[in-house]
A = this chain, B = another copy of it.
């Protein structure tokens, strides 16, 4: 990185060379982003949100045709690290909520605006925001061991990742509400049946099989992929941005609320029993 600064990458808090929580590699015409915090089930810290924004922004501009995101270890991603909540002093609550809302908005925008095919290789359980953004991926490969849950209302929260728009479109209201209002957890087969997952691969050889599939895709004519994605997504870029705004605004209001604080505290108490 240029010591004189001024390059846009640096302003978002991480440089491609020194990811702390990701492993980003480029090979065979695709970019691979590995969430690499396996001891914490790849829970997303604020730093990790920033790093993913950088990694996606760079992959969107580089010479690779396709980007795949996967997780290290048994989990794909356990969602927002709730430890993010626990270190906040009461009088900083609203300020932190505002900043977290800004971060989430930028994070989700990185998916909305990603110009190339984006593939998820869901190697295990996926929770919260790692599930909700799946509606903006172009291919979702899942291990047999993958599960999908978005326990918003149990935690006093509300949907993000544009899922309040994409999930009803993908699976209908009855199933979307079951996940998003009523905390229902889907296994890989259920997720495939409702259209969230494209293909299920055996657990034993998941990593290799998924990467082989990505490699095949990366051989296709790049411009066709980019323009096809553009045609499919362009008529809803505006509604995705509006949805992201509305979802983040609501969460900024929710996070410091008594409802949410009580629900998160209850969650930790039950976890520590």
A residues within 8 Å of B by Cβ? 117, 134-140, 152-159, 164-178, 180-183, 193-199, 217, 220-221, 223-225, 227-232, 234-235, 239, 242-243, 246-247, 250, 254, 257, 259-260, 263
Contact = CB atoms under 8 A, between A and B. Distances in A.
Copies of this chain, tallied across the complex: 3
25 contacts: A117-B177, A117-B181, A139-B177, A139-B182, A152-B228, A153-B220, A153-B224, A153-B225, A156-B221, A159-B232, A165-B232, A168-B169, A169-B169, A170-B174, A171-B195, A175-B195, A175-B198, A176-B232, A177-B198, A181-B229, A182-B217, A223-B257, A224-B254, A235-B239, A235-B243
A228 B181 contact: yes
Given A153-B220, A174-B195, A174-B198, 15 more contacts: A138-B177, A155-B224, A158-B228, A164-B232, A177-B232, A178-B198, A178-B199, A180-B232, A181-B225, A181-B229, A182-B220, A221-B259, A227-B254, A231-B246, A235-B243
A168 B138 CA distance: 10
A157 B195 contact: no
Given A139-B178, A227-B250, A254-B227, A263 B152 contact: no
Contacts of A246: 231, 234
Contact of A235 (B165, B227, B254): B165
A136 B198 CA distance: 23
A195 to B, nearest CB: 3
Contacts of A173: 135-138, 166, 170, 232
Nearest to A191: B174
A256 to B, nearest CB: 13
A232 B73 CA distance: 33
Given A173-B137, A174-B137, A198-B178, A154 B220 contact: yes
A239 B117 CA distance: 23
Contact of A232 (B168, B197, B227, B257): B168
A50 B116 CA distance: 35
A165 B171 CA distance: 15
A235 B242 CA distance: 9
Contacts of A263: 221, 224
Contacts of A134: 174
A183 B139 CA distance: 12
A171 B169 CA distance: 9
Shortest 6 CB-CB distances between A and B: which pairs? A172-B195, A170-B172, A164-B231, A153-B224, A174-B198, A138-B177
A167 to B, nearest CB: 8
